[in-house]
Amino acid sequence: MLHCHFHAQDQLHRYACPEVGIFETAANLELWPKILPHYRYIRFLERGADRNVVVMAARRSGIPISWTSEQIVDRTRLEIHFHHLKAWTKGMHVVWTFSDQPQGVLVTISHDLGFRIPALALIVDPIIGDFFIHGVANKTLRCMKAYVEAKANKVTA
């Protein structure tokens, strides 16, 4: 059976940081290019309190990538949803969740992408899914963790 769907989860524990603080940092797209060195820019096409449409641009191993995405911020459930509207990842759904656990806040990014051309899935999955999506998500979580923890340490020091 041909695998024509990419689903991945990237997880990271955050220690000694309040759940809502991590959530608000992740929801603040204006902050991303300032705290995430692999993000080149985020341009707002539409802006609202809980919904934005943005062009996001990053680098993966020096390779420039960009996509257009709708962001929905659900402050009640502490979830951030992205729906990719353009580029190779068109149609991909991304959900950030935040879960307070005994060892810290668990942040999970889930990616769900159905490849538009199933016959190319075996070739495209390792490149788009594993290399680009997983690579950018992992670096985003690592850099955001460093920023949030450094900010928390400044406040408590």
Instruction: Read off the pLDDT band of 5 (50, 70, 90).
Output: very low
Distance CA 114, CA 118 (A): 8
Residue 14 pLDDT more than 70? no
Instruction: Read off the pLDDT band of 68 (50, 70, 90).
Output: very high
Residue 36 pLDDT more than 90? yes
62: alpha, beta or left? (left if phi > 0; alpha if psi -120 to 50): left
Distance CA 64, CA 22 (A): 27
Query: What is the arithmetic mean of pLDDT over 78-82?
Result: 97
- Name the residue ranges covered by the structural domains of the chain: 5-156
Q: What pLDDT, on the 0 to 100 scale, is given for residue 60?
A: 83
Instruction: Read off the pLDDT band of 70 (50, 70, 90).
Output: very high
* Phi then psi dihedrals of residue 20, to 5 deg: -65, -35
Q: Report the CATH superfamily, name and number, of domain 5-156.
A: START domain (3.30.530.20)
Query: What is the arithmetic mean of pLDDT over 81-104?
Result: 88
Question: What single string gives the DSSP state of each residue in 50-90?
Answer: SEEEEEEEEEETTEEEEEEEEEEEETTTTEEEEEEEESTTT
Local structure of 145: helix, strand or coil: helix
What lies within 8 Å, CB to CB, of 50 at 6+ separation is 72, 73, 74, 75
| CA geometry: angle 103, 79, 95, nearest 5 deg | 95
User: Which of 10-19, 51-60, 144-153 has the largest mean confidence?
Assistant: 51-60
Q: What is the pLDDT of residues 112-155, one digit of tens each?
A: 887 666 776 667 666 666 667 777 888 998 898 888 888 877 76
